[in-house]
Amino acid sequence: DTAVSQTPKYLVTQMGNDKSIKCEQNLGHDTMYWYKQDSKKFLKIMFSYNNKELIINETVPNRFSPKSPDKAHLNLHINSLELGDSAVYFCASSRAGTSTDTQYFGPGTRLTVL
Amino acid sequence: GNSVTQMEGPVTLSEEAFLTINCTYTATGYPSLFWYVQYPGEGLQLLLKATKADDKGSNKGFEATYRKETTSFHLEKGSVQVSDSAVYFCALDSSGSARQLTFGSGTQLTVLP
């Protein structure tokens, strides 16, 4: 059983388009996250949601909008895609609570903007 | 703010060699420390973690000890295998309500047969 799943795995699109990436977790976790991994493998938090409420919103262009319809899902919508948005996007989840909780990552979505 | 400094790669070793990947951190409070591994084409998997000073995390022959006095969490393995080839990330989790992982830059390890 897949714990954290993301769709699609690969996404190739033109500049200016709008696209969404979906994430679902079946672990019963309260907190979900989006991370961006650039071409040099550097990982940075983008958003964090706890029980459908936004907790962290790092310095991310407002073209990126997360949406959490329920606590098992956290989707990422991106408007007016730019070349610099090309990266691998990882969804993750953890139980809410202390900093000792492990975050479980999805397989990633490789976004390529042409 | 929080930060993690990780040994730069890439690191290339022969099978059965000893591995050390250095990691030091800067954080307020008492963070938890993690090592994650990313195999080619896959997402991140937790390798091991330590939640307080002097704790030792271990898994699959890898070990790391939480050293508060040197703010370090170095990853070690006594005898690496080809299957250990991957990117290794050191990370810390800040305490408090706004939890998030702060990652190091990652270290690419290649083990040759």
A67 touches chain B (CB under 8 A): no
Nearest chain B CA: its distance from A12 CA (Å): 17
pLDDT value, residue B97: 52
More confident residue, A78 or B28: A78
CB contact set of A105 (below 8 Å; sequence gap of 6+) = A4, A35, A90, A91, A92, B36, B43, B44, B45
- Collect all residues of chain B within an 8 Å Cβ-Cβ radius of residue A101: 93, 99
Nearest chain A CA: its distance from B81 CA (Å): 23
Interface contact flag, B93 A99, Cβ < 8 Å: yes
pLDDT value, residue B26: 93
pLDDT bucket at B8, cuts 50 / 70 / 90: confident
Cβ neighbour number for residue B56 with a 10 Å cutoff: 10
pLDDT value, residue A24: 97
What is chain B's mean pLDDT, rounded? 92
How far, in Å, CA of B45 to CA of B74, rounded?
18
CB contact set of B111 (below 8 Å; sequence gap of 6+) = B12, B13, B14, B15, B17, B80, B81, B82, B83, B84, B85
pLDDT value, residue A1: 63
pLDDT value, residue A97: 52
Task: Spell out, as residue ranges, where chain A has pLDDT lower than 50.
Answer: none
The residue to which tokens 């954290």 are assigned: A4
How far, in Å, CA of B110 to CA of B113, rounded?
10
Torsion angle of C-alpha atoms A70, A73, A74, A77, degrees rounded to 10: -100
Q: What are A102's two structure tokens?
A: 């492990």
Interface contact flag, B100 A40, Cβ < 8 Å: no
Rg (CA), chain B: 14
- pLDDT tens per residue, range B59-107: 999 999 999 999 999 999 999 999 999 999 999 987 655 567 889 999 9
The sheet that has A73-78: what strands, in order across it? A4-7, A19-25, A73-78, A64-70
